Amino acid sequence: MKTEFSLAQLADPDIAEADKILRACVHCGFCTATCPTYVLLGDELDSPRGRIYLIKEMLEKDRPPTQAVVKHIDRCLSCLACMTTCPSGVNYMHLVDQARVRIERDYRRPLTERLLRWVLAQVLPDPKLFRASMRLARFARPFAALLPAPKTPSATPSLLRRIKAMLALAPAGLPAPGPLAGSVFAAQGQRRGRVALLQGCAQQVLAPRINQAAINVLTRHGIEVVLVKDEQCCGALTHHMGRDGDALQLARANVTAWMAEAGSGGLDAILVTTSGCGTVIKDYGYMLREDRDFAGSAAKVSALAKDISEYLARLEIAPQAGPHGEVVVAYHSACSLQHGQKITQAPKDLLSKSGFVVKDVPESHLCCGSAGTYNLLQPDIATRLRDRKLANIASVKPDMIAAGNIGCMMQIAGGTSVPVVHTIELLDWATGGPRPGSN
Ligand code: SF4
Ligand code: SF4
């Protein structure tokens, strides 16, 4: 694609990067076929190619984003299916991230929208605030039914519709908190490695059982696990909202904490059980590339970051013979894992080797609609995607659904009675841990 940035514009490293990305696009349109919003809405401007044109126009003209640009960028899930499909290697992720930062900086959203986004940016990355908000939501849940439901799904939902969606996603109860930051879990038998395990923010409140299962599997296989004390939220949620100042501050704090741990106790890897977080941590090196004080250590952190399935695939885990009988598992491939990190086979291989009957879900490239804060901000598109995902999952008649991302798990569980578990919970069960849901 031909671009027309001035030399002065190209002196800005972000614009130079955008120029490189835009020039790689040959506008072939292959990406439209796998874009969930284009598949649903059929509007070219809700396709990757359409959004690329909108971003190009906005950056080249160096104008504040228009309402139309904001609408179509807001509808993008950042699922990155387009990057998997693109034959030219267009890095849509870095382009749309830049567009979101521009929108956040230069576009004045209506007051209620600004307030809502501010609240989400404060609450979601802070486990204490998030826990308190979930408790409040529990009391407000019965009133959700009184809020108006749209007659037809809207791609520009009202504030009340979004509040209704948030209340619907809030769980009826919360589990007891998991292990404290600073805890170290010794390896059983001879120590084969030492890893940090990302504690997450929403996940540690909603499902501490996931990291407990990871700790069980890792220590059982000779890996010492540390929950690093000064670790923060990874910044993914604020990053995807274009609040780059907040996200980079969190990234710097994490780089500092993990490098200090690597320097004292040593770390073979930083393991992540929430693939949405993993994709962003693996991008810290890029996000902080212009920061002289952090660029080097951020690149090291990105190299150390591994999804739990990626790490276990190299570890030769030892399933015990048939603790679970024949269990059919529909494997839901989270976008952040399959498109963001290109990890597609490892989780399925681990499950198969552990004795589960693993079924691929039809249209597995399409997002379930969770996508960070997307199901809160765009509930109608998110619900349509979820229902499509549920129909595809139902077609393989599973006993359980496995995924590697808490956001997807919550989204899918909201529409099915089939148990939705994390892949690591099944691996824990297969290697001597409890059956998921029994503890
Ligand atoms: S597939 Fe790639 S090159 Fe083709 S239009 Fe989409 S982003 Fe551009
Ligand atoms: S990230 Fe997903 S929703 Fe956004 S343009 Fe690409 S395929 Fe479409």
Interacting residues of 218 by C-beta distance below 8 A, sequence separation 6+ = 185, 187, 195, 197, 225, 271
Q: In the predicted model, is pLDDT for residue 148 greater than 70?
A: no
Q: What's the whole-number mean pLDDT along residues 187-198? A: 96
pLDDT at 17: 97
Higher-pLDDT residue of 317, 250:
250
Q: DSSP letters of 16-69? A: HHHHHHHHH-----GGGGG-HHHHHH--GGGSHHHHHHHHHHHHHHT-PPPHHH
User: What is the best residue among 26, 44, 80 to mutate for testing ligand 1's pocket, by most ligand atoms within 8 Å of CB?
Assistant: 26
Is the CB–ligand 1 distance for residue 86 below 6 Å? yes
Is the CB–ligand 1 distance for residue 33 below 6 Å? no
Cα separation, 382 vs 4, whole angstroms? 36
With cut-offs at 50, 70 and 90, classify the pLDDT of residue 21. Answer: very high
152, with CB counted inside 10 A (0-12, 13-18, 19+), is: exposed
pLDDT at 153: 62
Q: In the predicted model, is pLDDT for residue 87 greater than 60?
A: yes
* pLDDT tens digit sequence for 256-312: 999 999 999 999 999 999 999 999 999 999 999 999 999 999 999 999 999 999 999
The CA-atom distances, in angstroms, between 194 and each of 142, 181, 297 are: 46, 16, 19
Question: Considering every ligand atom, which ligand is closest to the CA of 35?
Answer: 2
145, with CB counted inside 10 A (0-12, 13-18, 19+), is: exposed
Q: Count the neighbouring beta carbons within 10 Å of the beta carbon of residue 123.
A: 19
* Alpha helices, DSSP H, located in 395-435: 406-413, 423-430
With cut-offs at 50, 70 and 90, classify the pLDDT of residue 136. Answer: confident
- Letter for the amino acid at 8? A
Q: In the predicted model, is pLDDT for residue 439 greater than 80?
A: no
Question: Considering every ligand atom, which ligand is closest to the CA of 49?
Answer: 1
Residues 412 and 405: beta-carbon distance below 8 Å:
no
Is the CB–ligand 1 distance for residue 22 below 6 Å? no
Eight-class DSSP state of 283: T
pLDDT at 420: 97
Question: Considering every ligand atom, which ligand is closest to the CA of 34?
Answer: 2
Closest CA to 210 of 438, 433, 424: 424
Cα separation, 215 vs 212, whole angstroms? 5
Is the CB–ligand 1 distance for residue 26 below 6 Å? yes
pLDDT at 76: 97
Closest CA to 177 of 154, 202, 205: 205
Q: Which of 46-60, 128-142, 401-415 has the lowest mean pLDDT?
A: 128-142
What is the torsion angle, in degrees rounded to the nearest 10, for the CA atoms of residue 316, residue 318, residue 323 and residue 324? Answer: 0
Cα separation, 200 vs 271, whole angstroms? 11
pLDDT at 240: 94
Q: Which atom of ligand 1 is nearest to the CA of 29?
A: 5
Question: Considering every ligand atom, which ligand is closest to the CA of 91?
Answer: 1
Higher-pLDDT residue of 165, 153:
165
Q: What's the whole-number mean pLDDT along residues 38-67? A: 96
Q: Which atom of ligand 2 is nearest to the CA of 80?
A: 1
Distance of CA 69 to the CA centre of its chain: 24
Cα separation, 297 vs 212, whole angstroms? 28
C-alpha 79 – ligand 2 centre gap (Å): 5
Is the CB–ligand 1 distance for residue 49 below 6 Å? yes
Q: In the predicted model, is pLDDT for residue 427 greater than 70?
A: yes
To the question of pTM greater than 0.85 for the whole model, the response is yes
Cα separation, 79 vs 93, whole angstroms? 9
Q: Count of alpha carbons within 13 Å of 172, Cβ hemisphere only?
A: 3
Give the mean pLDDT of the chain.
Answer: 93
